[in-house]
Structure formats: C-alpha cells, structure tokens
Structure 1
Amino acid sequence: MTNSKRYSRQIILPEVGKMGQQKLLNARVLVIGAGGLGCPVLQNLASAGVGNIGIVDGDVVDETNLHRQLLYSLKDCGNSKAETAKKVILELNPEINVTAFSEFFTAKNATQIVDGYQIIVDCTDAIAVRYLINDISVAKSIPMVYASIHKFEGQVSVFNYENGPSYRCLFPEQEGLKAVPNCADSGVLGVLPNTIGTFQATEVLKIILEIGTVLSGKLLIYDALNFQTQIISFAKNPKAIEKGIINGRLLPNGKKSVEDLTPEGFLEKCNQLGIVVIDVRELDETPEFKGENVIRIPLSMLEDYRKKLNKNQEIVLFCQTGQRSLAAMNYLQKSGFVGVFHLGKGIESLKNQLQ
C-alpha cells in the first residue's frame, strides 16, 4: 500500500482494513460514460483508492454539461471527456492508474475494451449501449453496475453478479426502446446524477470489498422531488441470460477466436469421446475425413439437423477453407448451442496430416 494516511479513515473500518484497501488498490473497474453519472463514479472510485480505472467516452465537454458534470469546467469545453476526466482524477489521486478510451462503446470495440476489467459501471444514457454492456458482461461473467436518470428520478441495480439476474431479465428488449428520452430531450436536475452516481460507486466498492448486500436482483428507485426510495425485487430469466451470453460471445474481438481451432487442436478434439464432429461440406467434396464421431451434414441441411443435437453437446465443425464452418458455428451459437468450435482454416490446413 503506497499511502496509508490518505485512506486512514477508511482503513479503520473493520469491514475494510488494510486488506480491504489492498483489494481496492488491485481492482480494475471500467466506467463506460464520463457524463452526469460517470463524473461522480470516477471521483468516488479514485478517492477511495481503486487502483485501476478505465474511462470510455467518445464525446467532448459541452457547456450544457457543466451544471451536473462536476469534473469539468468552462475551459474544458471542446476537449475529450475521457482524457479530461483522466487528467482531473489523476490530480485528485496520482497514486492510481487510469486508462482513457476516447471512443464510443460499440460492438466492434467492446471485447477489446473490457478485457482485463473486473467490474463494468454503466454510466450511459443509450438503451442500445446498455444491452451491449449487459451482453459482453454476462458473456464474460463480469458484474455490471447500472444506473439511469430521468428528470427527478434515478434507478440503480447490479446485474450479472455471482450468477444473478441480468439487465435483460429486468428490461426485455423491445421495439421502440431507442425512443426512450435522455437528459438532452427531457432535462435533469443537476444534483440527481451526482446522487445516483454515488450510489453506483458504493455498489462498486461493496463488490470489491465483498461486504454488505449488493443490489443484485433488486432495483433501487430514488425520487428526488419527494425524497422517496423504494426497492423492487426481480427474478432471473434463464432465456434472457442465454440471449445475452450468445450475443456477447458473437461480438468481434479483433483477434483469433478461441473457438477457431488449429489443425492440432482440431485433431485432438476429434480423438475425444463424446464430441460430435460435423463436416458441413457438400457430399461430393474431397478430401474425405473419416472418424467414428464424424458425420457429414451439408450447411444447407444444418437447420433441420440441429433439432437432433443437444445444445449442451460439444460440437466441432469443419469445411474446406473455414468459411462455411464459421457460418455454421455462428448459426448454432445464435440458436443457443454453447460448446461449438470450428477448424479455423478448414480441411485444407490438414493436408500434411492427411497424407
């Protein structure tokens, strides 16, 4: 621990102590959105000594942000939110490590950005991005600390925590969700996101420290205008979880997938008991690859044949060059199959082994 004096009032708490403070220092937290919610989350996490913080935001500071986004000042207008937030919280606590991603969180970069982080904090105001955050976090078993604000009301919950309910369990995806208004459309009381963001930061610290009762399976609703709170419980929906996992696993990662087998990995799996190996080439294509567990189901017939397969069965697919087997793998994963692999470069990569 680098500076016990800085955290002394926190360390004296029996629930924290020096070991807890070390947990905070070792933690890796990704904050998506450096706006109204992100600002108080970042300030509180940095002050508490969370040692590794990622900030994702492709926006720039605007004067309309300043009444609620307290990390920024007038001189910051026009500058990157992520870079500016990084600079400010490092001034607040120079002992921590901060990484700024000056880009919006999308399906193309999600996998690379979340890599290595233990907790994701959803500080966005876009419904589609929330589903994306949920899907990547549930696929990678990373807790998602959620919040949203509207006028005088805020909501907080924790999803995907210790195999608990997901965002999709509480908010099933529906048509028209993109039309839900954000702050720019309907307004927000300036203090509200700072209150709700502090609630989020509290949940993050509890998760890291493994203390208290985490808001998993519970939605906290805060009405600032009437100073009322209520907590609503909600249940886990296995189908919603499955959909999130499938979507998360299908996200591009910019690198070779672990599901793309090398020739050696393919042959090793072919020799394992209980694995179904499917050749998705047409019946007249060569070279032929034989084995006790190898069956030939042309890609055009896979949709009908999948009804005979167990979704929990480990399946290995191959074709001539890897393109059709990749399509088959994506199709089966979208259909709920969880253990699907394919020969990345196809049967042509096995020429030496087949001679």
Structure 2
Amino acid sequence: MKNTTRYSRQIVLPEIGVLGQQKLHGAHVLVIGAGGLGCPVLQNLAAAGVGSLGIVDGDVVEETNLHRQLLYTLKDCGKGKAATAAEAVLLLNPHVNVTVFPEFLNKQNAFDIVGDYQIIVDCTDSIGVRYLINDVALAKNIPVVYASIYKFEGQVSVFNYKNGPSYRCLFPETESLITVPNCVASGVLGVLPNTLGAFQATEVLKIILEIGSVLSGKLLIYDGLHYQTQFVDFAKNPAAIEKGRINGLKILNQENTELQALDREAFLEKCSQDNCLVIDIREAYEEPEWSGSNVVNVPLAALENYCGQLDKDESIVLFCQSGQRSQLALAYLKKEGFTRLSHLEKGIQSL
C-alpha cells in the first residue's frame, strides 16, 4: 500500500485504521456499468483506496450522459465508457489497478469477467442483466451491491451477503417486458444516480472493512424530490436462491451456444435479406434513424404484443441504440419459443 498520507483522514477512524486501509487496498471489486451509477461508485471506491477495480461496459459516451455521468466530459463523446472511465479513475488515484472490459455482460462472458472479484456492484439498468448478475454471484458465493433509479427516486440493497437474501427473493422473475424502465424513456434527475452511487460505494466499503450494518435483507428507498427515505425488510426465499444458483451453475457449465450477436457486417447482410424481419426496439424519437423495406419500429414495451402475431420460426433481427435492450428482448423472445433470433451486438451506434 502506497502513500498512506492520501488516506490519513480515513485511517484515523478507529473502525478503519491502517489494517482497514490495507483491507481496502487488497480488495477486488467489479463494477458492472459505467453510467449514472457506475461513475460515482468508481470515483468513491478509487478515492477510498480500493486496490483493484474492474469496469464492465460496452457502451460509448454520449452528450445526453453528461448531466449525470461526471467521469466524462464533452471531449469524451464517442469514446468507449469502460476505457474512458478507467483513464479518469487513474487520474484520480494512480495507485489503483484498473481492468477494463469493453463489452456488455452476457451469459457467454459472465464467468470469465467475474473471475476472482470479491464483490460485484450492479450499476446496470437492465432487469435481465440483474438476474444474470444475481445468478452468477450465487454460483460463486459473492455479494452484490445493487441500486436502481427512476426519475427522482432510487433504491439500494445488498444481495447474497453471508448467505442472505438474493435479488430473486425481493424481485421474483417476470416474463413481461413492460415493467422495464430506462432513463431514455422515463428521464432522471442528474444528481440522483450520484446520490445512489455514493450509497452503493458506502455498502462496498462496509463489506470490505466488515463494519457497520450492511443492507442485507433491507431495501433502502430514497425519494430525492421530497427528501424522504424508508426501509423495507424482505425475507430470504430458499426456493428463489436455489433457482438462481442452479441457473448460475448451468451458465457456468454450458457451452457458448446461446444468443447470436451480430457484428456490423453480419447485421448489414441480414438487413439486405427480404425474408428477414428487422425490428428496431428503440423509442420513435431516438436517433439515428434506420429504415428499410423489412425494418419495423416496435419499442421494447410494445414488443410483447407485436410478436404475438409472428411466426416463431421467422428470421428476426433486433437492434437498439447500444445492444443492451436488444439482448434483453432476444432473451425474452427465445423463452417465448422463437427459434431464429439475432441482434446487433453493439447497437445502431456501432454503424
């Protein structure tokens, strides 16, 4: 551990001390998502001296991110978030070891990415990915620090901590896509994810240091508009935990034969085929536009009803802005029995 002067105001706390700071230095934390929540998590963990950070994100910086994702500046637009966040973290604290994963988490790469990390911080905005994170964490027996945001409100909890409740215990899995909110459709107050991300970082530090009361079995709900907080207790559900663990082990043991992701060239080739239906699941106002004789715009919330009219053996390609929503939609349609599915891995922005 280098430069203890940097952490002197933290080391002086009796609950931390030099030994606690050494624990932080030796910790390995994986942050999945370098957006609104991920930015403050990374800033606070790096500043506190957490020694090894992994950053997972396949997205690029856009100008619409800048009101809330404070690791980035206007000159970063168009750059990959994971690598750009890593550069900013190292400027903040060059003694932190940062590993970059410039891709979205999926069933094919999850276990390789999680590797030997001790804690996962879930900073995603995809319900499907949250279940995946939960199941992988259960299979590896590591805790997950979770948060989500919506307009002026947010919530925080810790799952899989010392054999405690899991994400599935609090949120039983649903097949519906209509319940999936995102910042593009609903909006968010810029300061909110920074508040919730700071809450997440606090839980990570407490877990590493083994101090205080961890939010295991408790959901903290924060209302920024009216400055109110409340706690909701939730119980451990052994059946939900077993389901998640089994799912995680299946992913660990399976071959990489799951969902088909298309690169730029393969996507353009598919779009040129008349017998292929290309579905744009973005909102109608999202840019850039992408049109064609076989392209239809069906926002994610409407996909469930629309696809009820389709032949399940029809060749379907899905795309969105960055690839996250299309991956979620693809997984849903696969469960519904559709057999010829693919999606543009990095979204329309990759074109």
Q: Same fold (TM over 0.5)?
A: yes
CA distance in 2, matches of 1:58, 1:215: 29
Structure 2 match to 1:15? 15
Over 3 Å counting, the alpha-carbon distance change for 1:178 and 1:207 in structure 2 is farther
Mapped partners of 2:177, 2:87: distance in 1: 35
> How many pairs were matched up?
256
Residue 14 of structure 1 deviates from its aligned partner by 0.3
Matches within 5 A, 1:320-339: none
Matching residue of 2:34: 34
For the structure 1 residues 253 and 91, does the alpha-carbon distance in structure 2 shift closer, same or farther, using more than 3 Å as the test?
Answer: farther
Q: 1:99: which partner in 2?
A: 99
Find the aligned partners of 1:253 and 1:60 in 2 and give their Cα distance.
31
Q: Distance in 1 between matches of 2:177 and 2:198?
A: 26
Aligned to 2:61: 61
Contact 1:38–1:197 (CA under 8 A) maintained in structure 2: yes
CA contact (8 A) 1:59 1:103 kept: yes
The Cα offsets for residues 224-260 of structure 1, whole Å up to 9 and x where unpaired, read as 000000000000000000000000011146999xxxx
**How far 1:177 moved relative to its partner?**
4.3
SS in 2 for 1:69: coil
* Whole-Å separation in 1 of the counterparts to 2:233 and 2:209: 23
Tell me the SS of whatever aligns to 1:250. Answer: helix
In structure 2, the residue matched to 1:112 is: 112
Distance 2:3 2:181 in 1: 44
- The AA in structure 2 aligned to 1:148 is S
- Tell me which residue corresponds to 1:319: none
Q: Show the 5 A alignment for 1:201-280.
A: 201-252=201-252
Distance of 1:112 and 1:101 partners within structure 2: 10
Q: CA offsets per residue over residues 145-166 of structure 1, 9 Å max, x none?
A: 0000000000000000000000
Runs of 5+ unmatched residues, structure 1: 257-355
TM-score (norm 2): 0.72
SS, match of residue 23 in structure 2: helix
The answer to whether the 8 A contact 1:109-1:253 is kept is no
Relative distance call for 1:178 and 1:102 in structure 2 (3 A) is: farther
**Whole-Å Cα distance in 1 between the matches of residues 213 and 10 of structure 2?**
19
Name the counterpart of 2:160.
160
If the length of structure 1 is used for normalisation, what is the TM-score?
A: 0.71
| Counterpart mapping for 1:72-83 below 5 A | 72-83=72-83
Letter in 2 for 1:25: H
Structure 2 CA distance for partners of 1:253 and 1:105, relative to 1, 3 Å: farther
Q: Return closer, same or farther for 1:253/1:23 CA change in 2, 3 Å cut-off.
A: farther
Deviation at residue 179 of structure 1 after TM alignment: 4.0
8 Å contact from structure 1 (residues 127, 177) kept in 2: no
Describe the shift of the 1:253–1:71 C-alpha distance in structure 2 as closer, same or farther (beyond 3 A).
farther
Q: Residue 178 of structure 1: CA displacement?
A: 5.8
In structure 2, distance between residues paired with 1:245 and 1:119: 17
SS at match of 1:200: helix
- Corresponding residue for 1:341? none
SS at match of 1:192: helix
Asked if the contact 1:126–1:178 (Cα under 8 Å) also holds between the matched residues in 2, the reply is no
What do residues 76-118 of structure 1 show as CA deviations (whole Å, max 9, x unaligned)? 0000000000000001000010001000000100000001100
| Deviation per residue, 1:284-311 (Å, 9 max, x gap) | xxxxxxxxxxxxxxxxxxxxxxxxxxxx
Query: Is the contact made by 1:112 and 1:254 (CA closer than 8 Å) also made in structure 2?
Result: no
* Conserved? CA contact 1:159–1:216, under 8 Å: yes
Cα distance in 1 for residues equivalent to 2:25 and 2:255: 30
**In 2, Cα distance between equivalents of 1:47 and 1:134:** 27
Structure 2: give runs of 5+ residues left out of the alignment. 257-351
CA RMSD of aligned residues (A): 1.3
Larger Rg: 1
Cα distance in 2, alignment partners of residues 249 and 120 from structure 1? 17
Question: CA separation of 1:142/1:177 partners in 2, compared to 1, >3 Å: closer, same or farther?
Answer: farther
C-alpha separation in 1, matches of 2:178 and 2:159: 21
Distance in 2, Cα, partners of 1:97 & 1:237 = 37
Q: Which residue of 1 aligns with 2:126?
A: 126
SS at 2:103 equivalent? coil
Identity %: 73
Measured in 2, the distance between the counterparts of 1:211 and 1:255 equals 40
Which residue is 1:197 aligned to?
197
Give me the whole-angstrom Cα distance separating, in 1, the residues matched to 2:253 and 2:208.
Answer: 27
Q: Which residue of 1 aligns with 2:142?
A: 142
- Judged with a 3 Å threshold, the aligned counterparts in structure 2 of structure 1 residues 45 and 5 are, in CA distance, closer, same or farther, namely same
